[in-house]
Structure 1
């Protein structure tokens, strides 16, 4: 989620229906068919994994989500759990430890993967864990130490990586700089190295040649895609957005999961197809909002915003079949399915 200082009015409430009016975002194949399940039932055995995001210190709801996930996608069959960024509220080592403690206290998929989010970089705003001191940013905290805390927690040495979700390939992206350290005019913007961009393009091309759908996980949303991303707040999250969209736009069977906004999965544009002019792919690629463990946000009617009930928590169950992908939005608070969509593979 964007920090309160950056956020302004959100254009739709949890009960509203957002308009998919942007020229680059189009209805998903299932929406176009007028049927949330698509035109046919899935064929073959499903590979099933779960995606959640934005825990941000809400450990009670994280615990609730893990228990609910075990009831719908038991660990004995689960192909994995992906946490799509904002693992912690600020990025302190003790906050990572608290997340691990809750995870270890629950039965969960053996295959757990983590993306980095903007909240992993908020330690420099504090002179100590109890004292907000933004005027003296970065309060002696180095950029390298923030990345090292993430690497220590995840057991990795890069923010980007390829993962295996029960035979389904996944690619995790992540910023390699916290931009405030490099440009006083910037804060949470995502910067990807040339190495990461080349790796990303090569891996997408490799799996396309293999005829495999690819799951992509990145914390920040792309502009003109899912709920909220036509708001100016979310149009400049990626410093290399044109390059990234140019890469993604070539591939039909790519599913991009984004987080960060905390917009409700009840909204009509929780999932869309995104086309990129000039890539030769008129079907576009799929983009899905992952919801949030740590509450939801809505417009306050006066040019600002307010948080919804802090007990709200949501995420996704993803089922990959031979001919399609079914994505189910889950309300962890109530233990109910919100909606689902069936997306054909081309």
Structure 2
């Protein structure tokens, strides 16, 4: 072998050795890295890690009703008419055997037909036969009608003056309800109900007619109680007898007279529910029974005398009222037919409550 060929052979052998050394070094390095580094999921090598959303813990709302009550309007219990008395018994039969909670009963005016001692005695006889939840009431115009009753116990407008007065009617109502005042409020299970009453009738104020007149004292009391009882996020209930006139006006006969001030009192508050009676309108005759203003406004039907749109008692067997359920996030208002113990499809409202702002 020539000297030049020998040198080439040595260079080739050296290149092979260098290559083998580099390959062995790379192999060892890969093995060492694989043993030292933790395993990584394939997805993590292709997408950047995402920040996790913070965990929010919120207590679930109670599923059942927090408070429930019935509203019975216009009972018109009478010592001389057996039909409304029978209908009140039907209503109380239903309420006391009702498949659901009943924390209270509201009687929103016209408890009696004439406000006479005999009418109140009949009403007491009926109600005392039942084991009832707490009962609360306000006065209607018929609870002042004793001024029209003659000595024989009959309706007689010519009998005026008969020795009776609006003051006597107020005292009869307070005695029956064991009240110190004809307007009141109460709270049960953390929810409050305010009951307003008309304070005079035509014997003292001929100009009011069949309207509901509230004094400065009652309206001041009402404003104060609203401020004290209101709780953001919770409903507050107000009971009247006569309905409101159109917005922006004061009422007259058969209406709440000082309506502008009434509405102004409610304006600052959310979740207020106002219920009235007096109209007697059947829930199934197409008459609107719910109106939304700055508050939720409901017209009840009647237990004693449910009327058609022409104000005639064409359905003599009907006896209707309202069942109210308060939930954590809503109020459910349902019309009830007491004569057959069913809910009325045409009278079914669910009102979401506005949440309190923190």
Instruction: State the TM-score, normalizing by the size of structure 1.
Output: 0.76
1:73/1:222 CA distance change after superposition, 3 Å:
farther
2:132 to 108, 118, 134: 108
Q: Answer yes or no: is 1:206 the counterpart of 2:232.
A: no
**Residues 234, 265 of structure 1: CA spacing in aligned structure 2 closer, same or farther, 3 A cutoff?**
farther
Alignment of 1:118-137 (within 5 A): 118-137=141-160
- Tell me which of 81, 85, 88 is aligned to 1:59: 85
SS in 1 for 2:243: coil
Q: Please list, as runs of the form range in 1=range in 2, the aligned pairs for 1:30-179 lying within 5 A after superposition.
A: 43-46=62-65, 47-57=67-77, 58-72=84-98, 77-109=101-133, 111-178=134-201
Aligned mates of 2:297, 2:328 — CA distance in 1: 20
The answer to whether the 8 A contact 1:49-1:165 is kept is no
Find 1:314's aligned residue among 320, 338, 342.
320
Paired residue secondary structure (1:121) = helix
Change (3 A) 1:191 1:94: same
Q: For 2:175, what is the secondary structure of its paired residue? A: helix
Aligned length: 283
Q: Tell me if 1:341 matches 2:334.
A: no
How much does 1:329 deviate?
0.7
Task: Give me the whole-angstrom Cα distance separating, in 1, the residues matched to 2:70 and 2:179.
Answer: 21
Aligned residue number for residue 285 of structure 1: 295
Q: Aligned partners of 1:309, 1:233: CA distance in 2, in Å?
A: 30
Deviations 1:187-233 (A, max 9, x none): 222221222111211222223345431111111111249xxxx9x99
Unaligned 5+ residue runs, structure 2? 1-60, 78-83
Aligned to 2:262: 244
* Pairs within 5 Å for 1:170-189: 170-178=193-201, 180-189=202-211
Whether the 8 Å contact between 1:221 and 1:234 is mirrored in structure 2 is: no
CA distance in 2, matches of 1:51, 1:62: 12
Gaps of 5+ in 1: 1-41, 275-283
Per-residue CA deviations over 1:292-331 (Å, capped at 9, x if unaligned) read 111222245xxxx532222210011110011110011111
Q: 1:130 to 1:319 in 2, by over 3 A?
A: same
Cα–Cα, structure 1 residues 236 and 113, in superposed 2: closer, same or farther, change >3 Å? closer
2:278 corresponds in structure 1 to 260
Deviation at 1:105, TM superposition (A): 1.0
- Residue 288 of structure 1 deviates from its aligned partner by 1.2
Q: 2:305 aligns with which of 277, 280, 295?
A: 295
3-state secondary structure, aligned to 2:208: coil
- C-alpha contact (below 8 Å) 2:320/2:337 kept by paired residues: yes
RMSD of the TM alignment (CA)? 2.3
TM-score after normalising by structure 2 = 0.73
**Which whole-Å CA distance do the structure 2 matches of 1:238 and 1:268 have between them?**
19
Give distance in 2, aligned partners of 1:129 and 1:271. 42
Hey, what does 1:222 align to over in structure 2? 244
Q: Which has the higher strand share?
A: 1
Q: Does 1:271 align with 2:271?
A: no
Residues 251 and 259 in structure 2, CA contact (< 8 A), matched pair in contact too: no
Distance 2:312 2:334 in 1: 27
Bigger RCO of structures 1 and 2 (CA < 8 A, at least 6 apart)? 1
